[in-house]
């Protein structure tokens, strides 16, 4: 958690709130929804004595975030108006993980001279990432998968559960025919699409394709069956949506001890900000559970903060951080993706002018 004692300027901080709508280059389909635009909010913490500005991003995700609802913007505005007087950031914003993430990363940015160096390093940051293949028609998914592989990705993740299961199996068969496990790691993400009655059978069928792991095969909230599934599944299971809404330390321990998944997947915007995600990692590690982090479709401002945080963990597993290229009007940044690697060069410049688009200021 951010230590407020380090912020001598906190009582004189000016706060601005700005809105931006990102446009997907093409519709992003999951088993829950089809996304064409993404609403995000930038918190700007301005130290008027130095002219430095720290920028954080609040980006609740429709269909997943517990914060989504008509009151979200009012809550965010209210927090922006009062938060510089808060004495305990984490406890006050526990049930507002995207707002917490926005404020804690904006403060870290401002502390480090407002240059988007959230976790400062004078070296290039390079992180292995998976290539994400969104749900679509069979031929399009295959083409996208092969494009990712040709671009140098050694690990791809396919979203499943949105088209006919037989078609999804044929996609996996075609990929594996060309790329055996020693050449390509395949992850799949069901987003809770399997029913309890069909989960075991589908996992057995999917296992013939040497799948690395499957994210959230059944809907969150079925802990006892998920725990049983972990013991029976021929494919390692990763929890994602299951973690959303759990912010109490004891409840986190209880959840992971009950299910004992092979992996957990962390999205700071959904799972309690940086501080909450660190707590998940600490608990998971104590139980022998591995993890990786993914973006929750933030702009490059949020993606940068997550990537720099992940880099401090020296990850070995591929992370899910390749989402910046999904948007046609993202914030230009020093983040580049090449050959399955995300790179951040601190010597390159940001162009944050797009944050200040006309009519973006809402507070």
Residue in 267, 313, 348, 354 annotated catalytic: 267
Q: Do 284 and 319 touch, CB atoms closer than 8 A?
A: no
Q: Are 188 and 157 in contact (CB under 8 A)?
A: yes
Residue 279, CA atoms < 13 Å, CB-side half-sphere: 18
Q: How many CA atoms lie within 13 A of 115 on its CB side?
A: 13
Query: Active site residue: 20, 111, 159, 252, which one?
Result: 159
Q: What's the rounded Cα separation, in Å, for the pair 340 and 125?
A: 14
CA 99 centroid distance within chain: 15
Alpha helices for 112-194 (secondary structure H)? 138-150, 165-178
Sequence-distant (≥ 6) Cβ neighbours of residue 61 within 8 angstroms: 68, 269, 270, 296, 297
Residue with tokens 């301005």: 46
User: Pairing between strand 155-159 and 185-189?
Assistant: parallel
Cβ distance 17 to 80 under 8 Å?
yes
Residue 159 annotated among the catalytic residues of the structure: yes
Cβ pair 343, 319 in contact under 8 A: no
The residues annotated as belonging to the active site are: 159, 267
């Amino acid at each position: 958690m951010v230590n407020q004692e380090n912020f001598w300027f906190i009582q004189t901080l000016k706060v601005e709130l700005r809105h931006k709508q990102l446009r997907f280059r093409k519709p992003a389909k999951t088993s829950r929804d089809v996304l064409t635009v993404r609403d995000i909010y930038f918190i700007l913490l301005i130290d008027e004595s130095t002219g430095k500005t720290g920028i954080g991003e609040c980006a609740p995700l429709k269909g997943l975030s517990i914060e989504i609802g008509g009151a979200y913007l009012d809550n965010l505005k209210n927090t922006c108006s009062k938060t510089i007087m808060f004495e305990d950031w984490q406890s006050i914003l526990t049930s507002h993980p995207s707002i917490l993430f926005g404020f804690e990363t904006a403060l870290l940015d401002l502390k480090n001279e407002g240059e988007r160096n959230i976790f400062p390093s004078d070296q290039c940051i390079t992180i292995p990432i998976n290539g994400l293949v969104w749900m679509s028609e069979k031929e399009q998914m295959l083409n996208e998968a092969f494009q990712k592989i040709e671009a140098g990705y050694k690990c791809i993740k396919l979203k499943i559960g949105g088209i006919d299961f037989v078609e999804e199996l044929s996609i996996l068969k075609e990929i594996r025919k060309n790329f055996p496990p020693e050449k390509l790691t395949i992850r799949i993400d069901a987003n809770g699409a399997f029913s309890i009655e069909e989960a075991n059978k589908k996992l057995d069928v999917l296992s013939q394709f040497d799948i690395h792991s499957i994210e959230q095969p059944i809907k969150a909230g079925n802990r006892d069956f998920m725990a049983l599934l972990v013991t029976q599944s021929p494919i390692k299971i990763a929890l994602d949506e299951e973690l959303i809404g759990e912010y109490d330390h004891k409840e986190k321990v209880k959840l992971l001890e009950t299910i004992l998944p092979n992996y957990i997947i962390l999205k700071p915007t959904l799972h309690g900000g940086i501080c909450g995600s660190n707590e998940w990692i600490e608990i998971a590690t104590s139980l022998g559970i591995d993890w990786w982090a993914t973006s929750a479709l933030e702009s490059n401002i949020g993606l940068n903060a997550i990537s720099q945080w992940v880099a401090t963990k020296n990850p070995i597993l591929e992370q899910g951080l390749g989402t910046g290229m999904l948007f046609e009007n993202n914030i230009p940044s020093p983040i580049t993706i090449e050959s399955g690697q995300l790179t951040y060069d601190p010597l390159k410049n940001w162009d944050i002018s797009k944050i200040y688009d006309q009519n973006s200021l809402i507070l």
